[in-house]
Structure 1
């Protein structure tokens, strides 16, 4: 075990900041059926420092464990798209590395959803460009819209394919007109920190003024914070959805398999543990890293009696000057930047406008003045305590960044016009509307955890922000916030420390 790390910054080698490192795997990629032991603590280096995973009651033998075992014919397991080194998600860099290693024979690039379309020549890298270059998995949604039980829902909009660079939406076998399927492309969501993701901070959905969704299996309300488009109510339903689509399982997961997967997913915590410049994120009074996630109460609203969001780093700002003076200048500057970024995140307000889930349907006013914590409000996690989906404009024109590699759909409302876009909407992903059949839900997407960001670029559901600065720049353009250059860098440093 390595007990310390020497940090090189601006050409100066120093070892004043040290941190204990957990064992790191020689090869960060986990193939199905390897039978590795998943330790209680596991570290992976990344461009910004070190990611750490903690497993309650670990270590765990993964031999024959259903999360790590290929059950279906495409050779995939759950771990294929939820890699430990990528914060239990999948980075575009990892996808590219696997292509360079194995090409199309790697299970990650299974034709069903690891390629732009199954009909394309699978040996060509161009047929997998959305996964290799952007870390995107193909999601095929039925049209007409169906509920979780498979019953058709009468939609109040029509959909037309305007642009189809993946070729799948106009494909004669897999396309919209022939197969009744709409292909959209999304980033895999992290499978970790579920104590927070499943937590219910409200007894209703304040974004819609409606009761919480109910799990039809248990009859109990659920958090609604699992999938980007809210298409499944629970982790069990998510497992069945993934088994039949991404994993192509020939058999239904039995109850024992599902319980073992649930047990693992609910025991794993992940966050950045150390920064390449700032050192250990739980040093000198700070409470960064995954340990705080592991031991803290979940589901608290930071602005309502809970711990203020990202207050884990307040100690760095309040450190006595004499103590700060003992730190290398680069370490001190980075830590002060992170603490400032946390305050900017909480305190800098701006006008939020034309965002469904915020300004409508029940609405807080349009515009409404608030800060980042209006939506990213859960202590220690930065996700939304309130369930439901929000349209930030990342997939809808005119707000979305140019994405010629993604499909483009024309949505035409047949009932009421959309409250912010009017009767016609151009979008690369209708998202929640493909679950509800409501035009007002076009582009609404479930917010996700902000932990482990350094390990899993690119960002947003469609991968439109290639790096953390791209996330800040998008929000600046979308809401005309007026961040200074220092504030932007402070926010980037905060996010890389999560």
Structure 2
């Protein structure tokens, strides 16, 4: 019965998408310069239910607001790649829909990073396949990094994007490495900027420092840690993704910061389980808005996902009022939260955990070892971790992505040896250290139902793909029931 309801919901979601495209319902896509009012509460349907965004002190006029205005020459605004309906990220489904509507004329597909390479014929779908099919934006990183002497060499083994071997933009010709990554969500920054540690426990090093204030920062912003603050991220994005010829001024930065620090996003209603803040649960967006940021469940704070405990302990009188489908879903979410916290497994050969300072190799722990922040499921500890999603032999096959050969010039990598094959060196493109190859900054688990695919390179096409990857990578031994419970938990976040 539950499976029928889920299938029916997916069909309804597809029909809703068709209605959007045909103008039967207000279009969820935000174009630059529309001048809409951003309300205090904004809901969007998706295949698993309804996403909700809350804006503190809203509503807000977006006319002439720098987050929503195409200031640069390529017609993009920040909102182009951080769509409200996609939990302030960008889903592959939204990218595909925009291509179907407008083709290369849509600013989303700007040649600089919305195509596989700027020198490809921009009117052809194949030139934008990584964005359309996988939701990936091209990130061009200088090699070697500025003011860094790397301890490894990098060479191109495979280049389906053509950009790493391109005579104008390539590694040898321009000193640029092109990798392809998912846009990170711009929401819930009360948590992302929270200071959970006074140092980086993954590397045994001091926290990065804001060059403008001299104060330490959380280090949980960019996938490769290349900038330490939201202000620096804005400047980086303004040039790399928006094509700005001049830096954002201080007033523009202040207005964008104000918006980004006031917006919250989470799944609010499940298509099967109903309201996620019902019957005693503290799920949904409001919890994020009012709770204390950055508390570490395993350190005496509120255990991660404990907001769903009420569903595990529902009184019989409450259960009797629910349909069997709703009751089964809510009990499944509560079990999934317990599996997430309590089921331990051996974590092996993972830089940022087993090395460099090391918690032991292997070390036994559960998902909350790295996804420990209350209400968010991101890592309170700053720094990057190599889950193997981009490095062989752990990465899933990705023939659509470039493949690089990394050769350590000094000591070999502690887990891969002297030679590494990777689709994205990650943090190593910032530090120049072979030991950092494949390390990526972890991110929030909120709003997952709205922003597939997952992992930095989009290698998990859906929530079940995330669970299956961890199962393969660490031989966890989940039962099929545990996998379903974890999937239901993540779709409810």
Which residue number corresponds to residue 17 of structure 2? none
SS in 1 for 2:95: helix
Q: Given the superposition, is the C-alpha separation of residues 310 and 133 from structure 1 closer, same or farther in structure 2, using an over 3 Å criterion?
A: same
Q: Given the superposition, is the C-alpha separation of residues 407 and 11 from structure 1 closer, same or farther in structure 2, using an over 3 Å criterion?
A: closer
Q: How many Å apart are 1:191 and its aligned residue?
A: 0.2
Which residue number corresponds to residue 20 of structure 1? none
Q: How many Å apart are 1:372 and its aligned residue?
A: 0.1
Is 2:343 the counterpart of 1:354? no
265, 272, 288: which one aligns with 1:270: 265
Query: 1:283-335, CA deviations, whole angstroms, 9 ceiling, x for partnerless residues?
Result: 00001111000001111101111110001110011011232122111000000
288, 307, 319: which one aligns with 2:283: 288
Counterparts of 2:290 and 2:268, CA distance in 1 = 15
Q: How many Å apart are 1:126 and its aligned residue?
A: 0.2
8 A Cα contact 1:341 1:487, kept in partner: yes
Which residue number corresponds to residue 337 of structure 2? 342
Q: How many Å apart are 1:218 and its aligned residue?
A: 1.1
Q: Given the superposition, is the C-alpha separation of residues 203 and 25 from structure 1 closer, same or farther in structure 2, using an over 3 Å criterion?
A: farther
Is 2:106 the counterpart of 1:110? no
Q: How many Å apart are 1:114 and its aligned residue?
A: 0.1
Counterparts of 1:396 and 1:303, CA distance in 2 = 30
8 A Cα contact 1:25 1:44, kept in partner: no
SS in 1 for 2:191: helix
Q: How many Å apart are 1:55 and its aligned residue?
A: 0.1
Q: Matches of residues 309-388 of structure 1 in structure 2 within 5 Å?
A: 309-388=304-383
Which residue number corresponds to residue 141 of structure 2? 141
Higher helix fraction (1 or 2): 2
Is 2:417 the counterpart of 1:419? no
Counterparts of 1:72 and 1:11, CA distance in 2 = 43
SS in 2 for 1:426: strand
Q: How many residues align?
A: 477
TM-score (norm 2): 0.95
179, 186, 191: which one aligns with 1:196: 191
Counterparts of 1:155 and 1:290, CA distance in 2 = 43
Q: Matches of residues 27-66 of structure 1 in structure 2 within 5 Å?
A: 27-66=27-66
Query: 1:364-410, CA deviations, whole angstroms, 9 ceiling, x for partnerless residues?
Result: 00000000000000000000000000000000000000000000000
Q: How many Å apart are 1:9 and its aligned residue?
A: 2.8
Which residue number corresponds to residue 18 of structure 1? none
Is 2:79 the counterpart of 1:79? yes
Counterparts of 1:10 and 1:178, CA distance in 2 = 51
Q: Matches of residues 238-249 of structure 1 in structure 2 within 5 Å?
A: 238-249=233-244
Of residues 76-85 and 249-258 in structure 1, the stretch that sits farther from structure 2 once superposed is 249-258
Q: Which blocks of at least 5 consecutive residues in structure 1 are unaligned?
A: 1-7, 14-23, 147-151
Which residue number corresponds to residue 127 of structure 1? 127
Is 2:5 the counterpart of 1:9? yes
- TM-align CA RMSD: 1.4
Counterparts of 1:60 and 1:322, CA distance in 2 = 43
Counterparts of 1:416 and 1:488, CA distance in 2 = 39
Which residue number corresponds to residue 464 of structure 1? 459
Q: How many Å apart are 1:25 and its aligned residue?
A: 7.4
SS in 1 for 2:414: coil
Which residue number corresponds to residue 390 of structure 1? 385
Q: How many Å apart are 1:215 and its aligned residue?
A: 1.1
404, 408, 415: which one aligns with 2:403: 408
Which residue number corresponds to residue 219 of structure 2? 224
Counterparts of 1:312 and 1:221, CA distance in 2 = 30
8 A Cα contact 2:155 2:404, kept in partner: yes
Counterparts of 2:366 and 2:388, CA distance in 1 = 17
Which residue number corresponds to residue 157 of structure 1? 152
8 A Cα contact 1:432 1:442, kept in partner: yes
SS in 2 for 1:308: coil
SS in 2 for 1:303: helix
Is 2:177 the counterpart of 1:182? yes
Which residue number corresponds to residue 69 of structure 2? 69
Q: Which blocks of at least 5 consecutive residues in structure 2 are unaligned?
A: 10-23
TM-score (norm 1): 0.95
Counterparts of 1:467 and 1:429, CA distance in 2 = 21
SS in 1 for 2:296: coil
Q: How many Å apart are 1:11 and its aligned residue?
A: 9.7
